[in-house]
Amino acid sequence: MSGSRLCIDTKTYLGKRIVFEEMCWRRKAKRRPELLEDGMLRRIEETLRNPDLVFRDHANPEGRRCYYREEYRVNGRPRYIKVVATNTTDPLYIITAYRPDRIKELQYGLKPIWETR
């Protein structure tokens, strides 16, 4: 991380420092254009500080966490912001973020490790 510019440098709901490097953000935005929307970085920070749900990542349960926050509803169905981040580094690193229309981890039978709803 030394010398890398950060577009996010905040703390998770557990008080752990977490960062999103600008280079990574720009690279991810090529596949996830919603990352470039006005206010998206602020909403990512809010999701990390005040998630509705947090899951272990189904593919890497010890090394990654998936943070979810409901943003709005369409025809009664929730739409989320999801942030995937490392769990074993210091500081933690944001890997990606996007807006899924469902909670993927539930299809694998995973239970949240943090829930506020």
Q: Where exactly are the structural domains of the chain? A: 6-110
pLDDT tier for residue 101 given thresholds of 50, 70 and 90: confident
As a whole number, the mean pLDDT across the chain is 95
Average the pLDDT over each of 25-29, 75-79, 87-91 and give the range with the smallest value: 75-79
Q: Which helix or strand (DSSP H or E) is residue 93 part of? A: strand 92-98
Distances from the Cα of 58 to the Cαs of 68, 105, 110, in angstroms? Answer: 14, 6, 8
Number of residues in the chain = 117
**CB burial readout 26-53, b (16+ within 10 A) else e:** eebbeeeeebeeeebbebbbbbbbebbb
Q: Is the pTM of this model over 0.85?
A: yes
